[in-house]
Structure 1
Amino acid sequence: MAVTIRDVASEANVSATTVSRVFNHTDLVRPETVERVRRIADEMGYQPNATAKSLSHGRTDAIGVVLPAPHGEFFSEVMRGIDEVAQSSHYHLLISSSHYNRDEAEAAMRALSGRVDGLLVMTTHVEADDILQTPRPDVPVVFMNSSNVGPDHDAYDIENREGAYKATKHLIERGYRNIGVITGPRNSLDVQERLSGFRDALSDSGRNPSEAPVIDGDFTRASGYEAGKQILELDPRPDAFFSCNDYMAIGAISAFQEAGITTPGDIAIAGFDDIPSARYASPPLTTVRVPVFDLGRRAAQRLLDRMAGHSEMPIEEATLGSELVIRSST
C-alpha cells in the first residue's frame, strides 16, 4: 500500500499541510522541519504526487511533443534535438502521434495541453486556431515543419521544395531521361512540397511533369519495397526515380535487387532526409540532407524562451536549408 502524505505527517508529528509545504514551498517551513520531514518521508518510501505538485507550482515541468508518426529515424533525430534542450533544462517530455490524421492531432494537443508547460507540434493538418481552442490556451506553442500556422506562432520548417528540386535536377544532369517519383502520404505537406520541387525541376528542363510516372507510398520501407515491384512492371521502365523519403528509396532498392536489377546501372534512385542508415544502404543512397536535429533543438529552445515569459520576442519563422549528398545510388 502506498505511503500517503497523512502517513508522513503522523510519523513526523506535523500537519499534512506542513508536509505539502516541505515538498512544494520550503520557504514557508523552518529548515530543521524540512530536514526532518524529508528524512522520514525517505525512510517511509513516500513519493509526492506529481499532479498535486504541478498544480501547487502552476507548472508541470513537462513539454508536450506531437509528431506525425511515433517511429522512424527522421523523427528520432527530431526528438534527439528536442531532448538535448529539454534535459539540459530539467524538463520531461510527453510524446503523442497524429498518425497523419487531423482529428488525432487535435485530440493529442487537447490531451497534452493540460499536462504540459508548452507544446512542440509537427503536423500537416493543424492550424493555429485549433491550438487556441485547447483547454489551456495559455500554453505556448512552437511549430515544426507544419502548415497554416498563421502569424502568431513561432515556426521552423525544412527546405522541402528546394531539396526535391536539387535531387531531381541532379538526376537530370546525370543524363537520366525517364524519371519517376515515389510519393508519401498525399495529405502530408512534406509530400506536397517535395512533389512540387520534383515537377518544377522537370518543367525547368523542358520536360512535361504530367508524363512522369508516379508511384504511391506511405513513407515506410515496406511501401517502398512494394513501389519498387510496381516500378519493375512499368513499360517503358523508368531509368531513375526520386523518392520522397529515404525509407521508401531503400525499400525500392531491395525490390530491385531481388529481381536482379542493379542500382544505379539499371535504375538510379535518390531519396530525401539523409537518415543515418542512408549512407550504409547498398548502394549508399544519394539523398537530400536536412538538419533535422537542429530543427528539434531550435524549436525546443524557442519554446523554453516562450515558457520563461519572453512574450516580447518577435515571432520567428525560419526555414532550415538543405544539401544534396551524392552517393553511389545515382
Structure 2
Amino acid sequence: MNPTIYDVSRLSGVSIATVSRAFSNPERVREDTRRKVFEAAEVLHYSPNAIARAMARQRTDKIAFLICKEGATILDEFYAGICTGIMRETNRSDFELVISTAADWDTASNTSKNKQVEGVILGGNARPDMIAELQNRDLAVVLVNNRIQGLDIPCVVSDEYGGVRQALEHLIGRGHRNIAMLAGRFSPYILGERYRAFLEVTQAHGLPADTRHIKLCDPTVESAAEACLELLSRQDRPTAIFGGNDVMAAGAMKAALRLGLRVPEDLAVTGLDDSSACGMLEPELTSVHIDCRRMGELSVARLQALLAGETDVPQVTVVPTELRVRGSS
C-alpha cells in the first residue's frame, strides 16, 4: 500500500495541514518542522500527489512551448534542438510540458485556454497579438530565438552578431575580399543583427560595405539558389557566400554546381546552424554552431524564475556560437 499524508503526519508528529504546507509552501514552515516532515517522508518513500500539491498552491505546474514559425512542425531540426533542452530541464523539475506550434495552438484556442498553463515559451517570430493575449491572461512569457524591442519580456537568443563575425573573419582570413551574404527572411531581430554584423565586420576589414552584397531571400534551397545565381552572374561576382542558415548555404552550393563552379576553389560557402545537413553535403559545409539545447534549458530557467516571483530575471540572455570549419570553405 502506498504511504499517505496521514502516515507522514503520524510518523513526524505534526498535523496533516503542516505536512501539506511543508511540501506546498516550505518557506512558511519552521526549519526543524520541515526536517521532521521530510525525514518521515523519506522513511516512508512518500511523494506528495502532484494534483493535490497544485490545488494547495493554486498552481498547475504546467508550461507550454509554442513554435512560432510559418509551416513549422515539432520535427523542425532547429526547434527540435531547443525542445530537447526544454524537455531536459522540465524533466528535472515538477513542471508538466505542453508542446505545440503557434498555428495549432490558435486553431484549438478554447482547448488550449482550458489547459491552464502558467507560463509559455515562444520560439521564433511570435506575433505581437499572441504575446498580448498571453500577457492579458497573466501568464509568464519568455521568448527564445527572438527579441522584441520595447517589450518587457525575458528572451534567450544565440549570439547572431558573433556568429556572422566568426564566419566572415574565417573567409577573410582565407583571402576572400568579395563576400556576399544570403540573408533569410527571419524575425526582424535576427535579420537586423546579421545585417549589422555583415556591414560592420566587412567595413572594419577595409572591404566595401555595400548592401548590394546582401541578398534577401526565403530560407529555402531554391530561393537561395536563385539569389546566388543572380550574385554569381555579376561581373565582379563574389568568391565567398555566407548563407543565413545551412539550407540557404546548400542553395548556394547548388547554384555553384549549376554554373560549373567548384566549392571551395571557385566559391567558398559557409552556413549557420550546424545542422545535420552539413555532413550530407559534398564538400561538407562549414557552419556556425548554435547551441539550441542550451537555449532551451535557459528559457525554462528564465520562466521558472518569473513564476517564482523573482524580480531580477535577465531581460536578454545570449548563448555563444562557435564556427566549425569543414571542406566548403
Q: TM-score, normalised by structure 1?
A: 0.70
- State the distance in 2 between where 1:73 and 1:188 align: 21
Instruction: Please give the secondary structure, in 1, of the residue aligned with 2:83.
Output: helix
Match of 1:329 in 2: 328
- State the distance in 2 between where 1:234 and 1:74 align: 33
C-alpha contact 1:140 1:303 (8 A) present in aligned 2: yes
Instruction: Please give the secondary structure, in 1, of the residue aligned with 2:170.
Output: helix
- State the distance in 1 between where 2:168 and 2:220 align: 21
Any idea what the Cα deviations from partners look like across 1:128-166, whole Å, max 9, x if unmatched?
x97454375321111213223557432212111121112
Offset at 1:276?
2.7
Offset at 1:231?
3.4
- State the distance in 1 between where 2:108 and 2:208 align: 42
Once the two structures are overlaid, the 10-residue window that deviates more, 233-242 or 64-73, is 64-73
1:299-314 aligned at under 5 Å gives the runs: 299-307=299-307, 310-314=308-312
- State the distance in 2 between where 1:202 and 1:159 align: 18
Root-mean-square deviation (CA, aligned residues, Å) is: 3.2
Match of 1:239 in 2: 239
- State the distance in 2 between where 1:272 and 1:250 align: 11
* CA 1:172–1:282: 2 relative to 1, 3 Å: same
Any idea what the Cα deviations from partners look like across 1:89-118, whole Å, max 9, x if unmatched?
4513232237xxxxx99x689875663221
Once the two structures are overlaid, the 10-residue window that deviates more, 135-144 or 153-162, is 135-144
C-alpha contact 1:86 1:93 (8 A) present in aligned 2: no
1:120-159 aligned at under 5 Å gives the runs: 120-124=121-125, 131-134=131-134, 136-148=136-148, 150=150, 152-159=152-159
Q: Which amino acid aligns with 2:317?
A: A
- State the distance in 2 between where 1:165 and 1:109 align: 42
Q: TM-score, normalised by structure 2?
A: 0.71
C-alpha contact 1:131 1:137 (8 A) present in aligned 2: no
- State the distance in 1 between where 2:141 and 2:242 align: 34
C-alpha contact 2:135 2:141 (8 A) present in aligned 1: no
C-alpha contact 1:118 1:140 (8 A) present in aligned 2: yes
C-alpha contact 1:109 1:134 (8 A) present in aligned 2: no
* CA 1:97–1:257: 2 relative to 1, 3 Å: farther
Instruction: Please give the secondary structure, in 2, of the residue aligned with 1:134.
Output: helix
- State the distance in 2 between where 1:236 and 1:314 align: 52
Offset at 1:60?
5.1
Instruction: Please give the secondary structure, in 1, of the residue aligned with 2:272.
Output: coil
* CA 1:182–1:151: 2 relative to 1, 3 Å: closer
C-alpha contact 2:305 2:313 (8 A) present in aligned 1: no
Instruction: Please give the secondary structure, in 1, of the residue aligned with 2:175.
Output: coil
**Aligned pairs, how many?**
269
Instruction: Please give the secondary structure, in 2, of the residue aligned with 1:323.
Output: strand
* CA 1:77–1:249: 2 relative to 1, 3 Å: same
Q: Which amino acid aligns with 1:306?
A: L
Once the two structures are overlaid, the 10-residue window that deviates more, 280-289 or 151-160, is 151-160
- State the distance in 2 between where 1:222 and 1:248 align: 8
Match of 1:97 in 2: 102
- State the distance in 1 between where 2:57 and 2:211 align: 61
- State the distance in 2 between where 1:86 and 1:222 align: 38
Q: Which amino acid aligns with 1:314?
A: D
Once the two structures are overlaid, the 10-residue window that deviates more, 235-244 or 273-282, is 273-282
Gap regions ≥5 residues in structure 1: 1-26, 28-53, 99-103
Offset at 1:194?
0.9
Match of 2:32 in 1: none
- State the distance in 1 between where 2:107 and 2:194 align: 27
1:46-195 aligned at under 5 Å gives the runs: 59=59, 62-69=62-69, 70-71=72-73, 72-89=76-93, 91-97=96-102, 112=112, 115=115, 116-124=117-125, 131-134=131-134, 136-148=136-148, 150=150, 152-185=152-185, 187-195=187-195
* CA 1:211–1:92: 2 relative to 1, 3 Å: closer
Any idea what the Cα deviations from partners look like across 1:247-299, whole Å, max 9, x if unmatched?
10012212322443211011101111212322342111112112111001111
C-alpha contact 1:179 1:212 (8 A) present in aligned 2: no
Instruction: Please give the secondary structure, in 2, of the residue aligned with 1:272.
Output: strand
Gap regions ≥5 residues in structure 2: 1-15, 17-53
* CA 1:113–1:296: 2 relative to 1, 3 Å: farther
Identity of aligned residues (%): 26
C-alpha contact 1:225 1:254 (8 A) present in aligned 2: yes
Match of 1:255 in 2: 255
C-alpha contact 1:264 1:329 (8 A) present in aligned 2: yes
- State the distance in 2 between where 1:284 and 1:64 align: 36
